[in-house]
Amino acid sequence: MNSHAIITDLNPRQAEAVLHTKGPLLVLAGAGSGKTRVITRRIAYLIGHCGVPPWNILAVTFTNKAAGEMKRRVADLLGHTDMSPALSSPAASFDRLRTSGWGIDGVWVGTFHSTCVRILRKHGAALGIKGSFVIYDDGDQLSLMRDCLRAQNLSERSLNPRAILSRISRAKNELLSAEEYAVQANDRMEERTAKLYLMYQERLDGLQALDFDDLLMATVRLFERHPEVLAAYQDLWRYILVDEYQDTNHAQYRLIHLLASRYGNLCVVGDDDQSIYRWRGADLNNILDFERDHPGCTVIRMEQNYRSTQQILQGAGGVVAHNYGRKGKILWTENEVGEPIVLYRALDETDEALFAARTIQSRVADDGSGYDDYAIFYRTNAQSRVLEEALRQALIPYVIVGGLRFYERKEIKDLLAYLRWVVNPADSVSFKRLVNAPARGIGPATIAKLELLAMQGKTTIWEACGRAVREKLLNTKQQAAMEGLLRLIGEVRTQSAVVPIPDLITELITRSGYAEELAQERTPEAENRLENLKEMVTAAQEFAERNADGGLAAFLDSVALISDLDEYADGRGAVTLMTLHTAKGLEFDTVLIVGLEEGIFPHALAMPDERELEEERRLCYVGMTRARRRLYLASARQRRLYGNRSFNLPSRFLDEIPPDVLQVRDPWESRSAGPPPSIVSRVRRDDDEPFVDRLYPGARIRHPDFGVGVIRERTGSGDDLKVVVRFNGAGDKKLMVKYAQLEQA
């Protein structure tokens, strides 16, 4: 392939990144700078010009949607349209790949988790992991953790199972086993977590299940303990590309470091200004320290933006420039100057929502744009309710991304439980979900008896159920129901090797009695649930078309690894509502960001910690740079949220936007000529204002006993005024202002 053809429409920095093929490379790709184009052109250049066999290339990203887009673009460049994965193992497929022709067929493009699944399916036995393992999602993990709490006689009131799972997840991201975590535990909460972590992991192992964090941790352990397996993959993947590198956690960092350590041809693409996932383990230092970790690496800054107008870029750049922990970039564009950024200072959350609805309605009427050209971003999901009401009243169609996803619906999770028990007879969590879906009269006491049988006999829940039937340990009704269930699962398990997955699903829906039970309800809700089950058949058909050799276990893997953005489909004729975190990677002609107030955005919990505050600022930058042509910002003078009415100052981020690109509007003004020198000072009262009027959520105060803290809530008035303050050492305290002796910090 002619190299000129690959880079002919690239700018100099993009072309430089494509043509660099040897040694470590850090591409700092600013928002809208064309990073996907660079990654795909680089793959095409390696294969088509440098003669690199496609199976020697690994490209890793964070969503299936991004991976699919990469595959499609490379296929277009190389002229190959077969999207079926030609590589199922690092050894057995070489001949097949070499005879299939060079192209996208052999390139391994996937997410971190899907890559690890494929490795563990092949080599997990070296760690005692069976090839038939199932992947537990958030709901499965929560169910299992609740079992662990009950087993240790702990209540959910004293220990939040989600909080425990979050701590365990952070430990796994740091590659700490339950035993290693226990050694490091230095307070009562960590000691309790360590005991639960140990039991949780033991039960996962017994169920032949892995959670998402296990996929990464186990693969790293595999490579560390079995150098011959690592060497095989190092020799296989001689060229490694990682997208969104700023979002990697320690386990992902370690995985990539191990794979790339032999040949050193590692290209990472990312933007330190878009690192917004610290709360789930992402380590910004992975990208900030890349040059230290890879001496002699090449650094390329891609600063030309192809998405946004000049005024939007100036505004976003002004905000993120206030961060210290960054590499530093100045985005520029040849796009039009564009309209000023509009800031609307709403009276309250209702006025803010009505402004959003009116703006969208008038724009659609005036310029002929579609509703799907608009998106509304907010910091927390709780802010969406009043926005939804305003859009409904205005008859504006909308869709919420990150709400209840298809695969999280009850009937779908029930059906998946059937399929998972077919694949893995030891999966007692799935058994407990399906055994009474539909109702079979097998209650909690009987289920506990079956689990005890499995534990005492050191067998699977499947074998325990079989024993209960053979020894007639159940009552007559339960006996008949269990016999029918075991017969169904056993027959489907036998058929799964030869019968197409859509047919297996249809058989389970029909023979289980699930479809009949829904049909008898004769309600619109039941009809919708039945249609969802039928849609699962369609999903299985589409999977079979994409994966000719994929079996039931592979189908379940693909479902387990789906993310919010994978299910998001743009262009549906509706306004998109989503959190700022979910918006990353998307773009819209017009973006509205609401709730720009101290304590809301930036979030109150982030304000005492400079690192957290910088992440909030990056989140603001991400939201602003999703806009192509128009950007609207809104803050409310007062807001009712979580049942409380608060009076908040405008977000500090508004004061960081260059004044010459910002246009301020008020409810009583059609528009103002421009902002005063400080947006925040516009609503601050003089220094002689009563001190109590400064006690807004997000304000920093000092208490004589507890020290410095940040106000989270304000309730009451006059002598009954109370505030909830989060102190660094003392936690949350509810204080009566009249007696608390508070001072401005």
Place of tokens 């991201």: 173
Decide the pairing of beta strands 638-641 and 627-636: unpaired
Q: Are residues 245 and 280 in contact, defined by beta-carbon separation less than 8 angstroms? A: no
Residue 140 to residue 433: CA distance in whole angstroms: 10
| Cα distance between residue 736 and residue 745, in whole Å | 18
Q: Which of 193, 248, 274, 333 is catalytic?
A: 274
Q: Which residue in 731, 729, 693, 730 sits closest to 714, CA to CA? A: 693
Is 224 part of the annotated catalytic residue set?
no
Task: For residue 589, indicate whether it is catalytic.
Answer: no
Distance CA(721)–CA(739), nearest Å, equals 10
Give 70-110 as a DSSP string. HHHHHHHHHT----S---SSTTTTHHHHHHH-SSGGG-EEE
Cross-strand partners of 723? 714, 735
Cis peptide before 54 (omega within 30 of 0): no
Closest CA to 462 of 434, 421, 502: 421
Instruction: Report whether 648 contacts 696 (CB < 8 A).
Output: yes
Catalytic residue among 105, 137, 213, 243: 243
Q: How many residues in total does the chain contain?
A: 745
Enter the tokens of residue 206: 């017994």
* Residue of 202, 198, 203, 200 whose CA lies nearest to 185: 198
Annotated catalytic residue within 65, 584, 626, 637? 626
Known catalytic residue at 456: no
Is 36 catalytic? The answer is yes
> By C-alpha distance, which of 143, 122, 144 is closest to 205?
144
Q: What is the C-alpha to C-alpha distance for residues 296 and 151, in angstroms, rounded to an integer?
A: 54
Yes or no: say if 122 and 87 are a contact pair by the CB < 8 Å rule: no
Tell me if residue 247 is catalytic: no
Structure tokens given for 342? 């509009």
Minimal CA–CA distance to 55: which of 65, 64, 63, 43? 43
Strands of 565-609 (E only): list them: 575-579, 588-593
Active-site residue identified among 244, 352, 615, 656 = 244
Residue pair 667/351 in contact by the 8 Å Cβ criterion: yes
196 vs 393: CA distance, rounded Å: 48
Catalytic residue among 13, 14, 35, 208: 35
Q: How far is CA 515 from CA 127, 413, 415, 433, 474, in A?
A: 40, 14, 11, 16, 26
Marked catalytic residue, from 21, 36, 310, 506? 36
Closest CA to 84 of 109, 111, 116: 109
Active site residue 243: yes
Give kind and range of the element (H or E) at residue 134.
strand 134-136
Strands 722-727, 707-715: parallel, antiparallel or unpaired by DSSP?
antiparallel
Residues marked as catalytic: 35-36, 243-244, 274, 626
